[in-house]
Amino acid sequence: MVATDFTSERAFEDDRFRASVLHESDSQKVVMGYFRPGQFIPVHAPDSQVAITVHSGKGVVREGETDHHVEPGSVVVVPAGEKRGVRAETELQATLVTAPPPGEAAHEPVRRGLERDEFEPELE
């Protein structure tokens, strides 16, 4: 069992968001995400569903073609195969639960978007 809190795990990166993996199994992955203003997870469309719960801060969660403006207490669930991304407007802390965990190939658009500083990289 994993028991923690946002304060204990809190750490930010200067150049990109930070993902602190709390738990990963064949069926799910639980990550605590820490974003400085303007940092993001690029839009991608893996074959897994995700539930994003905002603990603190404000930002945008992309679900398909819809941008959800989020704040503390907001929850956005994105189905498998649907485009998704997260962008912080202020310092943002959130929990992201994916089921099942996406594989390495599914994260290629994320890597490409981070390298190019693009929230919406070309999806192939």
Q: Which amino acid is at 109?
A: P
Q: What is the CATH number of the domain that holds 82?
A: 2.60.120.10
Q: What is the pLDDT of residues 4-62, one digit of tens each?
A: 777 777 888 898 999 999 999 999 999 999 999 999 999 999 999 999 999 999 999 99
Q: Would residue 121 count as lying in a domain? A: no
Full-model pTM: 0.90
Q: Would residue 124 count as lying in a domain? A: no
Burial of 107 (0-12, 13-18, 19+ CB in 10 A): middle
Domain with 24, as residue range(s), is 6-116
Q: Would residue 122 count as lying in a domain? A: no
End-to-end CA distance of the chain: 38
